[in-house]
Amino acid sequence: MSIFDKFGAIASLRDDFMELGVNPFNVVIEEVLSATEAVVNGRRTILAGTNNYLGLTFDERCIAAGKAALEGQGTGTTGSRMANGTYAGHLALEEELAEFFGCPAAIVFSTGYIANLGILSTLPGPRDPILLDADSHASIYDGCRLGTGEVIRFRHNDAADLDRRLARLGERAASALIVVEGIYSMLGDQAPLQEIVAVKKKYGAYLLVDEAHSLGVLGEHGRGLVEQAGVADEVDFIVGTFSKSLGAIGGFCVSRWAELEHVRYAMRPYIFTASSSPAIIESTRVALAVLKDQGGELRARLWDNAHRLYLGLQRLGFSLGPETSPVVAVSLGRSKEAALGIWHELLARGVYVNLVMPPATPNSNCLLRCSLSAAHTPEQVDAIVEAFAALQTQVAAC
């Protein structure tokens, strides 16, 4: 018996993909042409599945800042934040994030995944309850798994269900940490945050909102769903990422509690990971400044594109997520083979979207997940709709 035997099903699926000539879970971007276009399989392709919401990956100011840091500070820090890996830029970014959110404390992590791993594995102590929305991202589940808290799921976006589960905890509810997301990555739907906050207040629990897909996308100043819902004073922790709206890589946690600073010294995923390179930190700082200064204009373009795609696909009769969002998910059937065929056809027509299969999907159906960017032109969005329109029959039969 080989140590690899347990990966037999994965190996078989991979072989099927290779026969098709392209693996949807290992797509190679052969050449990046812009924030919205690349060469894939030798063909010019519209990128409609990159989470590059504000289109800042090719922003000249961000690139210049990254270049200057690369030349002036080197290629990497070669150490963790707790050792030699905290440069002035890391601290400056933390201060800028704290100011942006109006919070007294902020911590920068090397990825968004590590941010959730660090916070959720450390903040809840042994047997402290963690109440998770059932559709939470894998990084949230994994962070809880690494820690010692008791993990209880509540039904997706169902504040009444959360209420019932907190009630069962009795006095322990006051130490519970509730975790929700601003925009859920698969279907693009938003958390009913005001209702969640009302339940949180009823029990005196704590609330963490992951704004990975909503930073820069929601709220008058782009601070996310917390700002849009007007509940900043009631949310205890906000986690987010630099790898979507800010066009780089990294993660953060900000809090209305200054004591977050103490947690920094206890988080193993933070302590034992090399810190972000200076180039990443400096491009992120500039991206955050762009978000502050010009975010409104970018957001308006992003939402125009989101409405254009959602309405275009809705008119064609596709089954979509419950609300218009920069994440537009086309629901297919359960057949992975059929979903793969449709995804491949879209790629052949010059449109890249994400193919998502169960168990990563919320309802056991396969999804074609599109994400829009402020950098998409209306013509590109129309081209995405046309590519889907050409596959209507296959999707209906899927």
Partner 1 sequence: MKQYPEILDALYEVLQPFVGEKGVVLSEDTALVGDLEIDSVKLLELMMEIEDRFDISVPINVLPDITTVKDLALKLEELLN
Q: Can you give the binding site for partner 1, defined by CB under 8 A?
A: 129, 134, 150-153, 155, 164-165, 168-169, 358-359, 364
Nearest approach, Cβ of residue 380 and partner 1 (Å) = 35
Nearest approach, Cβ of residue 134 and partner 1 (Å) = 7
Closer CB to partner 1, residue 67 or residue 168?
168
Spatial CA neighbour of 131 closest among 120, 122, 139:
120
Amino acid at 308: R
Closer CB to partner 1, residue 131 or residue 395?
131
Per DSSP, helices labelled H in 21-148 are: 60-73, 88-101, 112-122, 138-146
The total number of residues shown for the chain amounts to: 398
Nearest approach, Cβ of residue 1 and partner 1 (Å) = 18
Greatest Cα pair distance, the chain, in angstroms, is: 61
At residue 255, what are phi and psi to the nearest 5 degrees?
-150, 150
156 is catalytic: no
By the 8 A CB rule, do 88 and 278 touch? no
DSSP class of 364: S
CA distance 352 to 347: 5
Closer CB to partner 1, residue 150 or residue 345?
150
Name the token pair of 202: 């009823």
List the beta strands (DSSP E) in the chain.
31-32, 37-40, 43-47, 105-109, 129-133, 150-154, 177-181, 206-210, 237-241, 251-255, 327-331, 351-352, 354-356, 367-371
Closer CB to partner 1, residue 333 or residue 358?
358
Q: Which residue has tokens 């519970």?
A: 176
Spatial CA neighbour of 127 closest among 196, 161, 173:
173
CA distance 369 to 176: 33
344 is catalytic: no
Nearest approach, Cβ of residue 170 and partner 1 (Å) = 10
90, 137, 200, 213: which is the annotated catalytic residue?
Answer: 213
Q: Is the peptide bond before 359 cis (omega within 30 degrees of 0)?
A: yes
Closer CB to partner 1, residue 164 or residue 201?
164
Nearest approach, Cβ of residue 361 and partner 1 (Å) = 9
244, 325, 371, 376: which is the annotated catalytic residue?
Answer: 244
CA distance 348 to 334: 22
Closer CB to partner 1, residue 44 or residue 127?
127
80 is catalytic: no
179 three-state secondary structure: strand
Closer CB to partner 1, residue 62 or residue 166?
166
Nearest approach, Cβ of residue 191 and partner 1 (Å) = 18
At residue 246, what are phi and psi to the nearest 5 degrees?
-95, 0
Nearest approach, Cβ of residue 145 and partner 1 (Å) = 8
110, 121, 185, 325: which is the annotated catalytic residue?
Answer: 185
Give the H/E segment covering residue 165. Answer: helix 159-167
Residues with active-site annotation? 185, 213, 244
